[in-house]
Amino acid sequence: MIRIEIEGHGVLVGGSLEGSARGFEAEFVRRGFTRKSLMNQLRLLAHLSRWLHAQSIDAGALTAQEVEVFLAERRRTHTGLFSRKALGPVLDWLANEGVIPADAAVVPVVADGPELAGFEEYLRAERRLADSTVAANMARARRFWAGYVVPAGGVGELTAAAVTRALLDEGVTRRPVSVKAFGYTLRSLLRFFFISGITSHDLSAATLVIRSPQPSRLPIGVSRDDVVALLTGCDRGTSAGLRDYVVLLLLARLGLRAIEVARLRLDDIDWRRGEVLVRGKGNRDERLPLTYEVGEAIVDYLHDARPSDTGFREVFAAGRAPRRPLTREAVGGIVERACDRAGLARFGAHRLRHTLGEQMVTAAVPLDAIGQVLRHTARLTTAGYARVDVTALRELAQPWPATTGGERA
What residues are labeled active site?
257, 281, 350, 353, 376, 385
Do 77 and 155 touch, CB atoms closer than 8 A? no
Cβ atoms of 50 and 82 closer than 8 Å: no
CA-wise closest residue to 84 among 105, 53, 54: 105
How large is the angle between the packed helices 239-253 and 224-232, nearest 10 degrees?
160
Distance CA 206, CA 374 (A): 36
The whole-angstrom separation of Cα 104 and Cα 68 is 10
Q: What is the largest CA-CA distance in the chain?
A: 98
DSSP secondary structure letters along 278-298: EE-GGG-EEEEE--HHHHHHH
Question: Where is 10: in which H helix or E strand?
Answer: strand 9-13
DSSP 62-129: --HHHHHHHHHHHHTTS-TT-SHHHHHHHHHHHHHTTSS-GGGGSPPPPPPPHHHHHHHHIIIIIS--
